[in-house]
Amino acid sequence: MLPKVAFVCVHNSCRSQIAEALGKHLAADVFESYSAGTETKPQINPDAVRLMKQLYGLDMERTQYSKLVDDIPPVDIVITMGCNVQCPFLPCMHREDWGLSDPSGQDDATFLETIGLLRDKILDLRTRIETRKL
């Protein structure tokens, strides 16, 4: 059984959604990806949706939606995005914070930088889980 990873931020509309999509795209054979927040938004950030379609051909609006931490299954690993707020307690075996700024309202270059950082962190997480160095 694959470990379950939750990517958590406040609104579950941008960074955590990108992380869920990239986790499913780049590491589905190593871990299951979920995203959630302490609040929800009516839609995923449109800039994130547009750029993820352009870069990876992934349609997050078709496969994902904004959800609360209570809406996901129990997880093994919790990754917070760096919201500078108190994230809710989710029982897990491992927890870490990736300290990423929210690109919402910024230009495409800022979004692309955030997406690139998330891609690199997802690939690193994949390697650490595979080699049991988490």
pTM for this model (two decimals): 0.95
CATH number for 4-130: choose from 3.10.450.50, 3.40.50.1980, 3.40.50.2300, 3.40.50.720.
3.40.50.2300
Does residue 98 contact residue 6 with C-beta atoms inside 8 Å?
no
Q: How far apart are CA 97 and CA 109, in angstroms?
A: 23
For residue range 55-85, list pLDDT tens digits in order.
999 999 999 999 999 999 999 999 999 866 5
Residue 119 has phi, psi (to 5 degrees) of -55, -50
- Biggest alpha carbon–alpha carbon distance for the chain: 40
Tens digits of pLDDT across the chain (134 residues): 999 999 998 889 999 999 999 999 999 999 999 999 988 899 999 999 999 999 999 999 999 999 999 999 999 999 999 866 566 678 899 999 999 999 999 999 999 999 999 999 999 999 999 999 88
DSSP result, 92-107? -SEEEE--PPP-TTS-
